[in-house]
């Protein structure tokens, strides 16, 4: 993970991206599976998707504030155009996420089929736009980070991301567990090691159990 010269390794960013990719791909089907009028189930799914959407907003805000500006200063030509394209994609995604945030409480309150179907359609568009954005970010932009972003700058971005986790242990572990689901053993150990000591201890004692219980509730398997 970390190299001896402390050059930035962007694996943590890719790990977080896997969570957002997977959950937004699943989201339209999760919403469409809720029966018309089932307010309890709609509220459960809507609460999770609201937290997920808030998390993606925070993730993009961190990049907008702490990653794109220094890259723009240190890149030129086609590479700087790439950063500007990332910014434009963030703006387009923000509009979709804002629409999701408008629709979620309406559906949670009514569980109406019309609200459900509109929400599912917007989530599908969000997922498609997110897949396109993350694919380009990972293949074209992240390889430009080592040597241009310092370890201190990258660590500040990571701290900001961890600080944006929900304060409720149950919700925080729902995110942490989701991030770690597709991690290699090495990635998992390194990611957990970087958590604040109290959070790391709680995760090791009960985090996986809390995650499994929470995600089963969201998926409707319990």
On whether both 158 and 170 belong to a single domain, the answer is no
Q: At what angle do helices 11-32 and 169-180 cross, to 10 degrees?
A: 110
On whether both 44 and 67 belong to a single domain, the answer is yes
In tens digits, the chain (222 residues) has pLDDT values of: 444 347 899 999 999 999 999 999 999 999 999 999 999 999 999 999 999 999 999 999 999 999 999 999 999 888 999 999 999 999 999 999 999 999 999 999 999 999 999 999 999 999 999 999 999 999 999 999 999 999 999 999 999 998 888 889 899 999 999 999 999 999 999 999 988 899 899 999 999 999 999 999 999 976
Total structural domains within the chain: 2
On whether both 138 and 218 belong to a single domain, the answer is no
On whether both 153 and 218 belong to a single domain, the answer is no
* pLDDT reported for residue 128: 99
Q: Confirm whether 5 is domain-assigned.
A: no
On whether both 96 and 130 belong to a single domain, the answer is yes
On whether both 74 and 95 belong to a single domain, the answer is yes
Q: Confirm whether 1 is domain-assigned.
A: no
On whether both 115 and 222 belong to a single domain, the answer is no
Structural domain for 34, as ranges = 11-164
On whether both 159 and 213 belong to a single domain, the answer is no
CATH number of domain containing 140: 1.20.120.520
Q: Confirm whether 6 is domain-assigned.
A: no
Closest by Cα among 3, 4, 14, 5 to 158: 14
What is the model's pTM?
0.93
């Amino acid at each position: 993970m970390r190299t001896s010269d402390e050059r930035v390794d962007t694996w943590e960013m890719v790990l977080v991206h896997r969570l957002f990719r997977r959950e937004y791909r699943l989201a339209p089907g999760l919403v469409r599976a809720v029966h018309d009028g089932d307010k309890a189930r709609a509220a459960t799914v809507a609460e999770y998707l609201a937290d997920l959407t808030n998390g993606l907003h925070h993730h993009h805000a961190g990049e907008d504030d702490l990653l794109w500006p220094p890259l723009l200063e240190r890149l030129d030509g086609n590479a700087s155009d790439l950063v500007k394209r990332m910014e434009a994609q963030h703006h387009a995604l923000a509009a979709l996420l804002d629409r999701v945030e408008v629709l979620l409480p309406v559906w949670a309150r009514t569980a109406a089929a019309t609200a459900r179907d509109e929400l599912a359609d917007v989530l599908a568009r969000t997922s498609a736009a997110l897949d396109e954005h993350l694919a380009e970010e990972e293949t074209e932009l992240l390889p430009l980070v080592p040597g241009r972003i310092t370890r201190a700058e990258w660590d500040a971005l990571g701290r900001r991301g961890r600080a944006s986790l929900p304060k409720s242990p149950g919700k925080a572990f729902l995110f942490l567990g989701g991030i770690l689901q597709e991690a290699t053993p090495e990635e998992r150990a390194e990611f957990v090691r970087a958590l604040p000591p109290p959070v790391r201890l709680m995760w090791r004692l009960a985090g996986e159990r809390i995650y499994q219980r929470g995600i089963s509730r969201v998926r409707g398997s319990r």
